[in-house]
Structure 1
Amino acid sequence: PGTPFTSRTVFSAAHVVADPFADVSPDSPAAVDWDATLAFRRHLWSHGLGVAEAMDTAQRGMGLDWAGAAELIRRSAAEAKSVGGRIACGVGTDQIASGSLAEVRAAYEEQLALVEESGAQAILMASRALAAAASSPEDYLEVYGHLLRQAAEPVVLHWLGPMFDPALEGYWGSADLDAATDTF
């Protein structure tokens, strides 16, 4: 504890802890036990791990809407700062279901601003809305290029592909993995 076991940063995509006493329906926003959720993150940091927060593999699309993810980012980033923990947070477009390329870019920008304002490193996640709006590899290059030029610090690019989410088929402008990787 307290001593990193490698010079590399290892990020844990930790789940949130549900509030077992909350009176919620299946259609209600997630009820989070914030004390237990942040305690688990402190435990991970005590072992030298970073936390990858608000990720599609741990929270997004699994109970947290954008408002809940934004709250998780704010609270976890503040906690990371208070204990000297490393944190990176997911930036996506889940506050919109679909839209034009300009609307997708604006959704990404909103989330990027929140993550950077919180003091966390940004992780640019794949976007269902971008997959639906883009018509060519150039569309991806324009959106991601804009975001990368705008980012204050280096970002992590996160792309799991259609095996994780079929709505991401053809991401980066091609269903061919080699062609998509070239664009990426």
Structure 2
Amino acid sequence: MKKIPLIVALPFLILFCQSVFAQSASLNITLSPTVLSVTISEAPVIQVSRYGYAKYDEGINAIVKDHINIVSSGAYIVRVAIGDVIGDSKLDRNSIKISPQLGSGNHGNLEGLMINSALPSNFIRNKQITIIEADHASWNGKDAANTFNVSYLIGADGTFAGRIPDASVIPVTYTIILK
């Protein structure tokens, strides 16, 4: 007889537990329209230690691996500007060529990605030149970032000839904006 009330109470207990655990809450989520994260690694000091004709003819080429890292949930543009060269060498900003390439760590979205070199004749003081343009987010469903190597070619075509051998600082400014 004592087992009957327990058997009758068991279904009510199960229903009560289900109703307690079946409660729900509503959650409102507002997504930011676009997220942009940029990392630009520090470029190494470029030593001009080559002597002879090749230095004057070919210039000095320094490639910085995975120099620019971009995570974006929307389309973006990367622009570059070169300031006045500081130092006794009196190199002209037009003696510098900046060329981005896909980086070794680039596993992001490549669809709609356009990469251009910043040619020396385009460098006017404080003028920004578009070197990377992405029509889509960097996210490809698996990886979030686009990374880019950057080649700095300095002093090609004889621009080192007749210059004072001294340390020079070449200010390079990158601007990343959302489209």
Tell me the TM-score normalised to structure 2 length: 0.27
Tell me the TM-score normalised to structure 1 length: 0.26
Which structure features the higher share of helix residues? Answer: 1
